[in-house]
Chain A
Amino acid sequence: EMQLVESGGGLVQPGGSLRLSCVGSGLLVSDYWMHWVRQAPGKGLVWVSRSNSDGTRTNYADSVKGRFIISRDSAKNTLYLQMNSLRADDTAVYFCARFLVRYDAFDLWGLGTMVTVSS
């Protein structure tokens, strides 16, 4: 069974940093475009970032551009999101998702990891 499992969330002070991880099992993360999507408490889904299969092409939502960095480690079958200069409005559950060309959509998601930015 294919799975994506996120980790690394937690409580961090404003201005702090956190690195999220997304480990794949039953699939090679390096074979796919991968994305991060977040959901603030009581709010909707918001796209955050994406990386092509080898990590050479990345894009970010305007709200995180210059603060977040998406990367991957193929040896560890892991996608990362380095989050710097965190703000209160970054508080959310962060999901990683596989983008499948067959559907031109996200067909596999993790359960998410919660990030809380608060003093």
Chain B
Amino acid sequence: FELTQPPSVSVSLGQTASITCSGAALSKQYCYWYQKKPGQAPLLVIYKDNERPSWIPDRFSGSSSGTIVTLTITGAQPEDEADYYCQSADNRGPYDLVFGGGTTLTVV
């Protein structure tokens, strides 16, 4: 069970960034997104494909289509520069959790 993300995405300040996560299990399991900055704890940004926690600005959104889930940042800000990880669960057996390889978002 694998989740595949692009290693890097670059976006111009104020423009829209899209980070994809693909995996066969995503058609049946929810996907979650975490932001990770160096020296900081990971931060939940999207849960259950497209739900946003109260502490996350509304420029972050999520969507799902089949086996591909997308994190979209509309109007990217300098503070959005970070690594982003998708996460889901293996729906076989004990539901082990799996993270994607991570995508480094650069805001230029």
A97 to chain B, nearest CB (A): 8
Inter-subunit contact B94/A107 (CB<8 Å): no
B:2-50 near A, CB below 8 Å: 30, 32, 34, 36, 39-44, 47-48
Main secondary structure of the interface of A (DSSP, over half): strand
B:40-89 near A, CB below 8 Å: 40-44, 47-48, 51, 53, 83, 85, 87
Given the contacts A45-B34, A45-B102, A50-B97, A111 and B85 also touching, CB distance less than 8 Å: no
Cα separation A39 to B39 with both chains bound (whole Å): 12
**Total contacting residues, chain A, CB less than 8 A:** 22
Q: Does A35 contact B (CB under 8 A)?
A: yes
Inter-subunit contact B102/A104 (CB<8 Å): no
8 smallest beta-carbon distances between A and B, as pairs = A109-B41, A47-B97, A44-B102, A103-B47, A45-B99, A105-B47, A105-B32, A59-B94
